[in-house]
Amino acid sequence: MKDIRIAAVVANCPVGEIEANLSAMETACGRAAAGGAQLVCFPELNITGYCNRPELADAALSMAGPEVRAASRMARTRGIVILAGMAEKHASGAVYASHLVLTPDGGIGVYRKVHIAPPERGIFTAGDEVPVFRAAGICFGIQLCYDAHFPGLSSAMTARGAEVIFIPHASPRGNAEQKHDSWLRHLPARAFDNSVFIVAWNQIGENCKGLAFPGNMVVIAPSGEIIAKDVSGVEGIFFADLKADLLDQVRGHEMRHFFPHRRPELYKG
């Protein structure tokens, strides 16, 4: 991988306020680009907003719709890779929790959440693909919130070449410190076991549908050590530099890089 500066946006994203959410996204992209970021990442479902009520389907958007085109224009105009989320209304009629990968050359990729949390199961259909993406000199995967609790998903992304896993959240309840402590039960393990960077960040504030989000972020090195965090509980843009040498220090050491020595043929079942 190449060194990369990323910007994680902790933002309030009310459900159904799509024009306002897109406007806030455009402002944040400008600030991220001005701060030297090559990639800017927004929370889970930041465009449509997130809730666990059936009416979220009313806010769902098509991949072919004007909202996605508008977001793609932001990437082209700012010359920055954008990771942004929405409830996606698929042509099949299914609704997915989706996260877009928008590149300055007009590319549009998508990750669809594969592990649907129990309160979401009446709303979303589970995705059935585990893609990785290559942009801005890195190979990365995306997981959405509940996905991060399943170690096999991170291993599958690493096996496909991921060096960074971005994990946008819409994780409610508690304050920022409490949510951070909760994340530390599993996110460092995803980094350490797979020798990857983990970048996780959250929505903040009321969603207008009965949920409130604490607004926290953390960046974890391939060693499992925290290299950046924010638990202030305030809306903002948080920059972090992901240095290739931090990856090389782990992956270049045969006693620190465990992943190549797995025996997945024994783990079935």
Please name each of the domains of the chain with its CATH number. 4-262 (3.60.110.10)
User: CA torsion, points 74, 36, 175, 18, in degrees to nearest 10?
Assistant: -10
β-strand pairing of 133-135 with 138-142: antiparallel
- Shortest CA distance to 200 belongs to which of 147, 152, 250, 245? 147
| pLDDT tens for each residue of 94-126 | 999 999 999 999 999 999 999 999 999 999 999
Residues facing residue 102 across a β-bridge: 82, 108
User: CA torsion, points 269, 127, 71, 201, in degrees to nearest 10?
Assistant: -40
Give the number of other CB atoms < 10 A from CB of residue 34. 11
Computed over every residue of the chain, the mean pLDDT equals 97
Decide if 85 contacts 61 (C-beta within 8 A).
no
Dig out the tokens for 14 from the structure.
């009310």
Rg (CA), the chain: 17
d(CA 8, CA 6): 7
Average pLDDT over residues 146-155: 98
Dig out the tokens for 81 from the structure.
């890779």
- Shortest CA distance to 246 belongs to which of 262, 217, 223? 223
| pLDDT tens for each residue of 194-252 | 999 999 999 999 998 899 999 999 999 999 999 999 999 999 999 999 999 999 999 99
| pLDDT tens for each residue of 154-207 | 999 999 999 999 999 999 999 999 999 999 999 999 999 999 999 999 999 999
Which alpha helices (DSSP H) does 97-256 contain, by range?
151-159, 176-183, 187-194, 244-251
What does pTM read for this prediction?
0.98
Percentage of the chain exceeding pLDDT 90: 98
The number of angstroms, rounded, from the C-alpha of 267 to the middle of its chain's C-alpha atoms is 27
Dig out the tokens for 8 from the structure.
């994680």
Q: pLDDT-based confidence at 269, cuts 50/70/90? A: confident
